A and B are shown apart, each in its own frame.
Chain A
Amino acid sequence: MPEDLQEFARQAREFLGAHAARVAAERAGFRWGEGDDRVAYFGADPPEVEERKLRAARDWQRTRYENGFGWVSGPPEYGGRGLTPVHDLVYDSIESEYDVPDTGTLSVIGLGMIGPTILAHGQQPVKDRYLPAMYRGDVIACQLFSEPEAGSDLASLQTRAVASEAGWILDGQKVWTSVAQHSQIGMALCRTDPDAPKHKGITAFLVDMSAPGVDVRPLRQMSGGCDFNEVFLSGVRVPDDHRLGEVNGGWRVALTTLMNERAAVGSEGSGPVAEALSPERLSALMRATWTWDDRALRRDLSELLADMMATGHLNARAFRRMQAGVAPGPEMSVAKLMYAQNLTRSAHFVSRVLGPRIIADTGEWGTYAWAELLLATPALRILGGTEEIMKNILAERVLGLPKEPGIDTVSPFRALPRSGAGGAP
């Protein structure tokens, strides 16, 4: 590690040492039947707990910010530290050794994706007003991208933005919006020229989520909780200085955001779910259920652990490359695909081990609790880019395979066939 990084790491440890306790080096010795047996991928906390966690997250982000660790790679004029993305990685890896509040609600989308987008494409007043406030933990941002008719084909979005004398007027519906209920601002992609081909008639805006006409409704997902929202926009006014990038140049802006998304999603290798799926815990589960010597299950377990450890190795190597300043290859996209598959296979493996104990709750510790993970796993192969889209990207960008020929990138958006409109025009 170069000298300046070492000095930076020392400062980070000093800061964390003063504000947080270290995580015990060994996981507090796991014992079957003791402690919390929840294996939750999604939050699903009761409202008062969620509220408390959010407050802790904001407080911790403010503490980071006030001590120079709130936005390590951000420019100083907006409250950043002016260091490199490698410093970010170093800080994150050091912080993971300490017991600090989870700031995911603020950081995954707002600080991780929207912040860099505002920095790259925002106008001066918006950068001044929101960037320091976001990284100080005061402003939470959400991403108003997906629509009921624009999932994998995001560029076919239909929410309209029309220019008026008082700025822009937005009308439409967004869906699968995480953290919208906590957000002060949202980044919305809108159709501004339906006569242009679909990628060339989109404009990006920053929307005040408390503006009249913004309606956030919780969306209940198949696992039972409400971790996403629908956001209805009806005649919402947005000043022109809240436009990100050029008029009809929104696709470029969206790509900035999405690039940061893929980097964020692939890196999940820790936390309670990963812990529950450790070799130690899975073998404890097999002992507790007397399936210990079942040959078929043992083989399944080995196949699963081999792939999980391989994914871990891939992540570790990508991380070391980035720390050494080498641009990451396809590892992150591969890791994202594998993470979804590994978790899905894990949940089904565990359900084979548990048998009927996962279809009805016997009250036994650590059994029916797995239902929560099982019901969350279908989301993993969809969110952040479906498996199918991820494979297209890998094949086209890494292997150089040609795109599927089609009319959708050259025809005017208005002329494209839509779902439910009877197919071809």
Chain B
Amino acid sequence: MNDGKEELDELREAVREFLTAKSPESAVRAAMESGPRHDPAVWDQMARQLRLPGLALPSDYGGDGFGLTELEVVLEEMGAALLCSPFFATVVLAAQALLASADEAACARYLPGIAAGQTIATLAAAEGNASWDPAMVAARAERVKGDGEVGGGWVLSGKKSFVIDGTIADLVLVAARSIAGPSLFAVDRGAPGLHAEPMTTLDPTRAMAVLTFDQVPAVLIGAEGQGGRLMSRVLDLASVALAAEQAGGARRCLEMSAGYARTRFQFGRPIGSFQAVKHKCADMLVRVELAEATAREAARLADEAAAEFPVAAATAHICCSQAYMFAAAENIQVHGGIGFTWEHPAHLYFRRAKSSELLFGGPAVYHERLLDRLGI
């Protein structure tokens, strides 16, 4: 771990430098108001120059074989910069779902394109109620009889919501129910019967879509009926990846607040010299330190395939969700009126914090998830 430490610092430095150049606030605002909600040129450079999409994918599938610990560093920086990118949907949700399926043929077919940055992909798990509970999957998968164009394959029908980057994904992995139960399927963009409609989102830096499926041809990924176990595994990993983004965003809010409190004068002194402001910043620091510790520790445990990983993942999801929301809200308070303007970036963090907190169901489900992972 001694040697690893420096490598992580170098990786962090490289990603931070890249994002400072490619995703300053002006670029974030331009991307969030654009059609695809990201800058395809940046996505391309991220893959070619830094090889980020393949960083944590196995080398058998064109990746560089690093783990969640390294991916965590990248995601913290992306969260801090509010990067608008299909990275999370592609590299975390879709790629982890493929890996969790243990379907080698599917991995060999799709992962090299993801690793190279040629394929944008996403996972359509939740439906109208935003639940990731496999029991709530209503989309249907039916086997097609005969040997026509889709003979022997599957067709999907139903509706998925909150699909991140759903309008631009080349590949959509879909949780749908067959007779055997929830299962995972792959659908190509442009498949007949697939329709993607962008959703109006609280957080403009993360695009979401409603996908409707009308007898859409699909390929089964992994074994039929294993979707429940798979969703649970992907949710644990995605929670930790999201936690990294959240910790990074929370750290940036703290830095903004502390910087402002040092330099903003009222009553003839820096506002940071007032204990009411000082303690607010200290409270943010406490929450940010805890958030980072939980996110990084969970990533480490994932890489070690430790039995404690699911508990650590649920812990990180709770702590980072709370820390980011707290830091983003207090950041506006420390800034006062200026923090409430459209021109100030504080609201972009507030929006991202709230959207991240509730992305996988929020407090309504994440507390019971932790107790469940603890066996309580």
- Chain A residues engaging chain B, CB cutoff 8 angstroms: 279, 283, 298-299, 301-303, 305-307, 309-311, 313-314, 316-317, 320, 324, 326, 329-331, 334, 337-338, 388, 390-392, 394-396, 398-405
Closest 5 CB pairs of A and B: A302-B367, A401-B272, A391-B282, A314-B293, A313-B297
- Which residues on the A side are within 8 Å of B254 (C-beta)? 399
A313, A320, A324: residue with the most chain B Cβ atoms closer than 10 Å = A313
CA distance A307 to B279 in the complex (A): 19
Q: Produce 1/0 per residue, B35-71, CB < 8 A to A.
A: 0000000000000000000000000000000000000
B168 shortest CB reach to chain A, Å: 35
Q: Is the pair B293, A310 in contact by a Cβ cutoff of 8 Å?
A: yes
Number of chain B residues close to chain A: CB under 8 A: 42
Q: Is the pair B285, A398 in contact by a Cβ cutoff of 8 Å?
A: yes
CA distance A403 to B374 in the complex (A): 44
The stretch from B24-32, B83-91, B199-207, B310-318 touching chain A is B310-318
CA distance A395 to B261 in the complex (A): 10
B278 sits at the interface (CB 8 A): yes
Q: Is the pair A320, B272 in contact by a Cβ cutoff of 8 Å?
A: no
Q: Is the pair B258, A401 in contact by a Cβ cutoff of 8 Å?
A: yes
Partner of B290, one of A279, A310, A396: A310
B219 shortest CB reach to chain A, Å: 38
- Which residues on the B side are within 8 Å of A395 (C-beta)? 258, 272, 278-279, 281-282, 285
- Which residues on the A side are within 8 Å of B376 (C-beta)? 279, 283, 301
Q: Is the pair A331, B289 in contact by a Cβ cutoff of 8 Å?
A: yes
Partner of B371, one of A301, A331, A390: A301
Partner of A388, one of B262, B270, B275: B275
Q: Decide: A311 near B273, CB < 8 A? Known: A298-B367, A303-B367, A392-B278.
A: no
By beta carbon, the residue of chain A nearest B323 is A310
- Which residues on the B side are within 8 Å of A401 (C-beta)? 258, 261-262, 270, 272-273, 277-278, 281
Q: Is the pair B293, A317 in contact by a Cβ cutoff of 8 Å?
A: yes
Q: Decide: A306 near B278, CB < 8 A? Known: A301-B371, A314-B290.
A: no
A408 shortest CB reach to chain B, Å: 14
Q: Is the pair A404, B371 in contact by a Cβ cutoff of 8 Å?
A: no
- Which residues on the B side are within 8 Å of A311 (C-beta)? 290
- Which residues on the A side are within 8 Å of B274 (C-beta)? 404
- Which residues on the B side are within 8 Å of A399 (C-beta)? 254, 258, 261, 272, 281-282, 285
- Chain B residues engaging chain A, CB cutoff 8 angstroms: 1-2, 5, 254, 258, 261-262, 269-270, 272-275, 277-279, 281-283, 285-286, 289-291, 293-294, 296-297, 311-312, 314-315, 318-319, 363, 366-368, 370-371, 374, 376
- Which residues on the B side are within 8 Å of A306 (C-beta)? 314-315, 318-319, 370
Q: Is the pair A405, B273 in contact by a Cβ cutoff of 8 Å?
A: yes
- Which residues on the A side are within 8 Å of B311 (C-beta)? 309
Q: Is the pair A310, B319 in contact by a Cβ cutoff of 8 Å?
A: yes
- Which residues on the B side are within 8 Å of A388 (C-beta)? 275, 279
By beta carbon, the residue of chain B nearest A283 is B376
CA distance A390 to B370 in the complex (A): 30
Extra contacts besides A310-B290, A401-B281 (10): CB < 8 Å: A301-B376, A313-B294, A313-B315, A330-B289, A338-B290, A395-B279, A399-B272, A401-B270, A402-B269, A402-B273
- Which residues on the B side are within 8 Å of A317 (C-beta)? 293, 296-297
B142 shortest CB reach to chain A, Å: 38
Partner of B315, one of A309, A392, A402, A405: A309
CA distance A132 to B371 in the complex (A): 50
- Which residues on the B side are within 8 Å of A302 (C-beta)? 318, 366-368, 370-371
- Which residues on the A side are within 8 Å of B261 (C-beta)? 399, 401
Q: Is the pair B269, A405 in contact by a Cβ cutoff of 8 Å?
A: yes
A229 shortest CB reach to chain B, Å: 31
B185 shortest CB reach to chain A, Å: 33
Q: Is the pair A310, B275 in contact by a Cβ cutoff of 8 Å?
A: no
CA distance A402 to B286 in the complex (A): 18
By beta carbon, the residue of chain A nearest B311 is A309
Name 29 A/B residue pairs within 8 A (Cβ), A-sorted.
Answer: A302-B367, A302-B368, A303-B318, A305-B370, A305-B371, A307-B290, A309-B312, A309-B315, A311-B290, A313-B290, A313-B293, A313-B297, A314-B289, A314-B293, A316-B297, A317-B293, A329-B289, A330-B285, A330-B289, A338-B286, A388-B275, A392-B278, A394-B286, A395-B281, A399-B258, A400-B262, A401-B258, A402-B273, A404-B274
By beta carbon, the residue of chain B nearest A401 is B272
CA distance A68 to B162 in the complex (A): 63
CA distance A326 to B4 in the complex (A): 13
CA distance A286 to B38 in the complex (A): 49
B243 shortest CB reach to chain A, Å: 11
- Which residues on the B side are within 8 Å of A392 (C-beta)? 275, 278-279, 282
B254, B291, B315: residue with the most chain A Cβ atoms closer than 10 Å = B315
Partner of B1, one of A298, A314, A324, A338: A324
Q: Is the pair B273, A334 in contact by a Cβ cutoff of 8 Å?
A: no
By beta carbon, the residue of chain A nearest B294 is A310
Q: Is the pair A298, B290 in contact by a Cβ cutoff of 8 Å?
A: no
Q: Is the pair B273, A403 in contact by a Cβ cutoff of 8 Å?
A: yes
By beta carbon, the residue of chain B nearest A392 is B278
Q: Is the pair A320, B294 in contact by a Cβ cutoff of 8 Å?
A: no
By beta carbon, the residue of chain B nearest A311 is B290
B275 shortest CB reach to chain A, Å: 7
By beta carbon, the residue of chain B nearest A298 is B371
- Which residues on the B side are within 8 Å of A404 (C-beta)? 273-275
B261, B269, B278, B291: residue with the most chain A Cβ atoms closer than 10 Å = B278
CA distance A338 to B371 in the complex (A): 21
Partner of A334, one of B1, B262, B290, B366: B290
- Which residues on the A side are within 8 Å of B290 (C-beta)? 307, 310-311, 313-314, 334, 338
B269, B270, B282, B319: residue with the most chain A Cβ atoms closer than 10 Å = B282
Q: Is the pair A334, B285 in contact by a Cβ cutoff of 8 Å?
A: yes
Q: Is the pair A305, B374 in contact by a Cβ cutoff of 8 Å?
A: yes
- Which residues on the B side are within 8 Å of A310 (C-beta)? 290-291, 293-294, 315, 319
- Which residues on the A side are within 8 Å of B291 (C-beta)? 310
B374 shortest CB reach to chain A, Å: 5
B260 shortest CB reach to chain A, Å: 11
By beta carbon, the residue of chain B nearest A402 is B273
Partner of A324, one of B5, B272, B282, B289: B5
B327 shortest CB reach to chain A, Å: 13
CA distance A179 to B262 in the complex (A): 42
Partner of A279, one of B273, B368, B374: B374
A78 shortest CB reach to chain B, Å: 31
- Which residues on the A side are within 8 Å of B269 (C-beta)? 402, 405
- Which residues on the B side are within 8 Å of A305 (C-beta)? 315, 370-371, 374
CA distance A404 to B271 in the complex (A): 10
Q: Is the pair B286, A334 in contact by a Cβ cutoff of 8 Å?
A: yes
CA distance A309 to B314 in the complex (A): 11
- Which residues on the A side are within 8 Å of B278 (C-beta)? 391-392, 395-396, 401
- Which residues on the B side are within 8 Å of A329 (C-beta)? 289
- Which residues on the B side are within 8 Å of A283 (C-beta)? 374, 376
By beta carbon, the residue of chain A nearest B289 is A334
